[in-house]
Structure formats: structure tokens, C-alpha cells
Amino acid sequence: MAENNLEVDQREHVDLLVVGWGKGGKTLAGTMARAGKRVAVVEQSDAMIGGACINIACIPTKILVHDAESKRESDDTDDYFATAVERRDTLTGAMRKKNFSMLDDLDSVLLVSGRAEFTGEREVLVTGGPESMQITADTVVVNTGSVANVPPIEGAELGGRIHDSESLQHVTPFPKRLVIVGGGYIGLEFASMFTQFGSQVTVLDRGQRPLAGEDSDVAEVVASALSDDGVTIVNEASVTAVADGSEKATVTYEVDGEEQTIDAEAVLLAVGRAPATSELGLDKAGIDVDEKGFITVDEHLRASVEGVFAVGDVKGGPMFTYISLDDNRVLADQLLGEGERTTADRNAVPYTMFLTPPVARVGLSEDAAREQGYDVKVGAKAMADIAAAPRAKIEGDPRGIVKFVVDGATDLILGAALVHVHSQEVINTVALAMRHDVTSTELRDTIYTHPSATEAMNEVLGAVQ
């Protein structure tokens, strides 16, 4: 532990200290407080109360995606985008206020505003406000999330016309031309969004094709939809420099050894996320991190120091708010339950890229299943060709594909890729079926409401071979 002669204004000891107001940590804080435990939650930014999801990630970006999809050709682009941003800010502000009250209303929760830095194994010093506070705890949960990577590219410094996924949500003026460096999850989502708002979007991607983890037929459908909406994707593009000028930004990149440049009013750097740990003083607590700086944990989310845990993005792995929520369940079982639940219990975890139409995936792709030696059977159809599921046609966007990968030996579903309207909802049904060993035949013959996107499974699974 640290020496006790620290110059602090206040000292507190709690049962549970949560550093960072992310999904997993805030949920655990409420659970522990209602169980009679004394809890402290430290957050350095009032703008991040409630966590990244409701403030800069899931919720605000999906508001913008929804409004972009609703834009009409007759709408003025600048005014329409400004209105969408205003709606984004209003809703996130209301959610931030609600998240604050959800913990503030609990008598045994101490909410502390400031920056926390470890001074011992389960001890932090909180500074940044008018007073400092030393907090010790029986259990500490690090829940500080992640930040956008800034790539080691000449001139790639955030500010002005150079943005990360947070600042681009408030870009002004609205960019007529947008260059996105990186063709991953975030890059493609913003590409789809901004092209529908009215930007001329170019994505510079290092890969040979978009969605390298998907089968080529699925990736081609997604790339075609993006192209139809006006997005240009440059594959195998190595960005070498970014320059922000008085009237435009210029991005320099190479393709097949040939140097090229492209100008834009805004540039988005979308090249992954890094753990938000740089100022936590993890070394002072003896907390181990991996080669990328993420806190290393075991399947119970225990860090290398007794009584210290990490949840959410800061520990690496899939960076989804529902993973952080499940981290909370694992940890709640450790602290209040039988201690049997672990991260190894997770299977058939779905995800969705909110493009237009959305791309949803769970389990193995066809390529991955064949590589693992399964007796692979496949059912796949273009959404426009599925007669039994007219929902997409009703909504005016029949683009997409429904693809299932089935184990021929057991009839169990190995994976699915759904690219169509409402796929973000349908994928949860598929994931649930996979978790409970529902066969493809049973899923094929189930009664679904009509007209819905879900009933595409009747026809596609009927074509498995």
C-alpha cells in the first residue's frame, strides 16, 4: 500500500470502488449498493456520466444513422444534419441525467468527480476538482473503457479537419467530402451514415476487401450496397500522410506503390481503439497489461492484483456494451453469488454493424467452418429473392443476403450472416437458437409473424444443402 502521509483533503474506504462510469461498472455499482454495500464511483468527465455507449458511441451514432436513413432528397443537408445532431444531443443529455440519478438516488453510493490514479493495490487518489480524495476499497473495478487510436502517420493529429469518431458527430460545417482512414466496423458505419446525410465519402482501407472476416459473397453484398449509396472504397491503400490546410485537408496514400492524394473537408481516423489507461498509474498498483496496454484478466475478470477486476473495453476483447453488461453479471456472481459464472460461458455472441442495411453476424462463417473441419451445409439467398419474407420490399430496401451455415452431422447451426432491414433483431433469435441447440430444421419449421424479416428463415433454411 502507499504511504499514509499523502496530502489529501478527504479519505474514504468503501466495499467497492468503480473507476469509470461504463455499462458494466455502473450496473455493478447499483447492484452492490442495493445489496447493502458501500460503493464509490469515480468519473473524470461530466460529459461521460453513464459511459461511452450513451454519450459518444452506441446511442448517439445510431440516432444519426436513423436520421441519415430518413433524409429526403429535398431536405437541406446542412440544416438536416444540424437538426439530427441536436436530437442526438437532447436524447444523450436526458440519458446522462437519468444515469446519474440511478446511482445518486442510492444512499450508499458515493459519486466522485475527478481523475483517479492508483497509489496502491486497492487505493486511488482522485484529483481534478477543488479537493483531492484518497479512496481505498476491498474491491476495485477498472471500467475506464477505450479511446480512439491515432495512427503513426505523418500529420495525423486530432483537431481542425482531422477527427475521431467522437468529434465527427459534431463536425461543422457539414463536409461535402469526407475521407475515412480505415475500413473496419467504425469506418464503414460512418461511411454509410455520412453518405446518406450527403457527403461524398471515400474509405481508404489497408485490406484486400471490406469485411475480411466475412465470406466473400456476404462481403460483396455489403460493398455493393455501400457503393449504391455513393461510398467509394479504395482497397489495399496505405495512408502515409494527412495534412490539414486552411480550406481543405489532404490525405496521401499509396496503392500498388503508386502515390496518390485526395482532398476533403473532413478526415475520420478510424483505425481501432486503445485502452484508456494512460493516466491510471496501473504500475503503481502492480496491475499487469498486455502488449497493447489492455488490462490482463482471467475468466473471472480478475486482474493480476488480488481484489482488482477489469470490465468492458479496458480489458480488451469484443468492444460491445452488451459484453460489458455481461462482465457485470460475471463479477456480480463473484462478489454476491456462487462465483461460478465466467467469461468462458459465453457462446454464440452476435454483433451488428449498423450500415444500411445492417450487417448482423453470429458464429462461424462458411470459410471458418470448413477450415475447422465441419461437414458444412449452406443455405443462402438474396433478400430480394426471398418470396416468403416481403418485409424488406415493404420498407423499400430489399438489398441484402441471408446466409446460414449448418453442421451436416448434427443439423445444428454453426453461424449466420444476415444483411437486411431489421437484421439486428433477427440475429438475436438465431443466437438464442444456437445457445440452446435448436436445430436448423426446427428453426426452419417455426411459425413466425408475417410480414416480418424473421420469416426469411423459413425459406432460406429450407434451401440448406
Alpha helix stretches (DSSP H) within 267-380: 282-285, 321-336, 366-371
Is 157 contained in some domain? no
Average pLDDT of the residues in 92-101 = 98
141 lies in the same domain as 14 = yes
pLDDT bucket at 409, cuts 50 / 70 / 90? very high
| Dist CA 301 CA 325 (whole Å) | 13
What's the chain's length in residues?
465
450 labelled catalytic: yes
33 lies in the same domain as 101 = yes
104 lies in the same domain as 193 = no
Average pLDDT of the residues in 290-318 = 98
Which positions make up the binding site for FAD? 62, 144-146, 313
- Residue 412 pLDDT exceeds 70: yes
Is 180 contained in some domain? yes
| Dist CA 380 CA 418 (whole Å) | 10
Contact 377, 464 (CB under 8 A): yes
Domain boundary among 249, 271, 293: 271
Q: Which of 13, 163, 422, 450 is catalytic?
A: 450
Number of H helices, E strands in the chain: 13, 22
Domain boundary among 271, 291, 325: 271
Query: Would the pTM count as exceeding 0.85?
Result: yes
Range of the domain at 394: 351-461
| Residue with the three cell numbers 431536405 | 75
| Residue with the three cell numbers 417455426 | 446
Is 4 contained in some domain? no
| Dist CA 347 CA 432 (whole Å) | 10
Is 119 contained in some domain? yes
Q: What is the pLDDT of residue 6?
A: 56
Is 156 contained in some domain? no
91 lies in the same domain as 205 = no
Average pLDDT of the residues in 39-66 = 97
| Residue with the three cell numbers 454495500 | 37
Domain boundary among 345, 362, 393: 345
169 lies in the same domain as 74 = no
Alpha helix stretches (DSSP H) within 58-148: 58-70, 77-104
pLDDT bucket at 4, cuts 50 / 70 / 90? very low
Write the pLDDT tens digit of every residue in 253-273: 999 999 999 999 999 999 999
Is 153 contained in some domain? no
Is 76 contained in some domain? yes
- Residue 89 pLDDT exceeds 60: yes
Question: How high is the mean pLDDT of the chain?
Answer: 97
Give the count of domains, the chain. Answer: 3
414 lies in the same domain as 435 = yes
61 lies in the same domain as 136 = yes
100 lies in the same domain as 175 = no
Average pLDDT of the residues in 325-332 = 98
Is 1 contained in some domain? no
| Dist CA 5 CA 7 (whole Å) | 6
Percent of the chain with pLDDT over 90: 97
Average pLDDT of the residues in 78-85 = 98
Alpha helix stretches (DSSP H) within 229-350: 282-285, 321-336
Contact 29, 320 (CB under 8 A): no
Average pLDDT of the residues in 22-44 = 98
The CATH number of whichever domain residue 325 belongs to comes to 3.50.50.60
316 lies in the same domain as 367 = no
pLDDT bucket at 120, cuts 50 / 70 / 90? very high
226 lies in the same domain as 326 = no
- Residue 1 pLDDT exceeds 80: no
Amino acid at 454: T
21 lies in the same domain as 143 = yes
The CATH number of whichever domain residue 428 belongs to comes to 3.30.390.30
Closest C-alpha to 277, from 285, 269, 266, 265: 285
- Residue 24 pLDDT exceeds 60: yes
136 lies in the same domain as 281 = yes
